[in-house]
Structure formats: structure tokens, C-alpha cells
Amino acid sequence: MNTYYIRRPGPKSEPIQTAQEWDALINRCVRMAHDDLISDFRVLLYGIERPESEQNELENWTTESLDRFSELRQGLINDGKKDPCELGYWWFAYRIQDGFTQPTAGEMLDKMRNVRHYTGWPVWSVRNPRALRPYNGLIECWPPNLSGQTFFHFWLASPKGLFFLLRNYDDDINPDRVHPGTTLDAILPIWRIGECLLHAEEMSRLLEAPSGSVSVQVCWTGLAQRRLGEWTTSTKFMLPPFVYQCHSPSVQSPPVEIQADQIGSKLPELTELLLKPLYEAFDFFKMPMNVIVEVLKRLRQGRF
């Protein structure tokens, strides 16, 4: 009774005999508790990278979505129209985990119409009925009559809780303000990723899975030789203009998982986590956390 054993060479178990053995045991317990605490804190605060065995569905969904985009894009080029994404694009994919009653595609579209809009052209926009169509049991958005340098918005949504969005860069369609292909506004990614995360939170609620987990991933292409700038917002954050340059053609975040009902409260931390690989690709630029917090505050208030 009240005897504690440790493993000794042999192997064999014997009672603790010295103060040093007690110290070693207590230190091991403290280290294990510390590691568990850090792990729990990371899950709560930032989300976690999904185990490889659980990434397949989101990865397959992303691959299928990109293949569909490539197919439609090639058709556009074959028709002699200008490719709106020739200088690059970014995409955001997320998956709401099982735990909800799967709707039909039409019912899913009705739910998407109830998502709050934070910007003038919201993510997964359902405003233009001419751009929406059924495709293999999915909802597909492909803008009609694309021509010239224009804002491009392609997305897919699955009743299984899978969403994919692809857009070109604002930096490439405003030649009167910035030369196309040379710049990435440093503030816009915060705005865009924050809005995508809030969309995931809202769709989880609408699908009646608010406490389920959401896995997300984001990627940016066409980045090589671009420099970070700050040209879109009316209020400047005094970031160093056009100093930080990217030398990589693309950047992709690791898959991250978060509980849906924690997205809103952890929005700045999640946004920072997803954007960190992008900013670091620009000569190790570090976006100040106070800027991320302020931009997301403005996003939620609907002012840019």
C-alpha cells in the first residue's frame, strides 16, 4: 500500500528507493504534463495540422476542384478569351466534418444564401444566378462572359460539407493603381482569409454542426518577384512599402483543423497561422499581430 514502482534494467519493476529516483519520476511526469498542456493549448488557440491519414478527403477535394478549374480555364483559352488568372491566383478549401444531415445540392444553395456578407463581393458569392449551375451533384460557380482584366471568382460546394474557392489577385486587375504581376497587397490576404474562415463557421452553424471540426487549407500562386505593398485600404498601416520580395512561385499553408464554434473567438490567431507561410516567403516578413486584429475588426464591421 502506498508503494510506487519504477522500471529497472532487466527489465523489472521495483519500489522507488532513493530521493533521486523520486526526482527523476516527478520530472518525467511534469514533462509529459507540459507536453500535453502545450498540445491542448495549440489545438485550442491555433488549430492543429491534421494527421496524414485524415487529410485525404480534403486533399482529394482540392485536387478535383483544381482539375475542374483547369478544364474550364482551358476552354476559356480555346475560345480565344483572355485568361483572368494568367498572372496568378489564390485558393481556399475547407471541409466540415461529418455530424450533420446531408442536404441536397439545392438545399445547400439555399443555406449558402443565408451566409452573412462582409465585403462588396463576398466569398462563395451566390448573387449572380447566371454564374451558378449544378455539376455532378455539386454547386458550381463559373462567371459568364469573362473577358479582359476582370475580377474572377470560381467556386465549388458539395452537400458533403466541402467548399473550394479560387480567385485572381486584385493587384492584377487595377493597372491604374499598381502594375499587374508585380505586387501583393499586404493587407488584402488578412481580409480574404478572415472572410473565408467566417464563412466556414457560418456554414457549420447552418448545417447544424456548430461544434464539429473544420479542416482548411490555402494556397497562393504566381508570387515570384512580387513585392508586398499597401495600396487598397483607405487607412494605411504604415508597413514598409515594396521592400519585401517573394522568390517562390507559390506558397501553400499546412492543413489546419479547428472546432467550428471556436473560429470566431480565435479568428486573429487562425488567420495568422494560415498566412504565416505566405508572409515569410517575402523575405521573412512578419505581419504585426495588432494589424491582423485591426483588419479583422474592420472586416466584421463591414468597413474597409
With respect to residue 107, please indicate whether it lies within any of the assigned structural domains. yes
User: What is the extent of the structural domain holding 69?
Assistant: 48-301
pLDDT in tens, the chain (304 residues): 456 555 555 445 566 666 555 455 555 553 444 344 334 434 444 444 444 545 689 999 999 999 999 999 999 888 888 888 999 999 999 999 878 999 999 999 999 999 998 888 899 999 888 999 999 999 999 987 765 557 889 999 999 999 999 999 999 988 888 899 999 999 999 999 999 999 999 999 999 998 889 999 999 999 999 999 888 765 566 666 668 999 999 999 989 999 999 999 999 999 999 999 999 999 999 999 999 999 999 999 876 5
The pLDDT assigned to 174 comes to 86
With respect to residue 171, please indicate whether it lies within any of the assigned structural domains. yes
Question: Using CA atoms, how far apart are residues 38 and 84, in angstroms rounded to an integer?
Answer: 44
The pLDDT assigned to 196 comes to 97
With respect to residue 6, please indicate whether it lies within any of the assigned structural domains. no
Angle at 207 between CA 116 and CA 106, to 5 degrees: 85
With respect to residue 37, please indicate whether it lies within any of the assigned structural domains. no
With respect to residue 5, please indicate whether it lies within any of the assigned structural domains. no
With respect to residue 42, please indicate whether it lies within any of the assigned structural domains. no
Q: Residue by residue, what is the 3-state secondary structure of the chain? A: CCCCEEEECCCEEEECCCHHHHHHHHHHHHHHHHHHHHHHHHHHHCCEECCHHHCHHHHHHHHHHHHHHHHHHHHHHHCCCCCCCCCCEEEEEEEECCCCCCCCHHHHHHHHCCCCCCCCCCCCCCCCHHHEEEECCEEEECCCCCCCCCCCEEEEEECCCEEEEEEECHHHCCCCCCCCCCEEECCHHHHHHHHHHHHHHHHHHHCCCCCCEEEEEEEEECCCCCEEECCCCCCCCCCCCCCCEECCCEEECCCEEEEHHHCCCCHHHHHHHHHHHHHHCECCCCCCHHHHHHHHHHHHHCCC
- Which amino acid is it at 247? H
Number of domains the chain contains:
1
With respect to residue 29, please indicate whether it lies within any of the assigned structural domains. no
With respect to residue 221, please indicate whether it lies within any of the assigned structural domains. yes
Cβ atoms of residues 124 and 195 within 8 Å? no
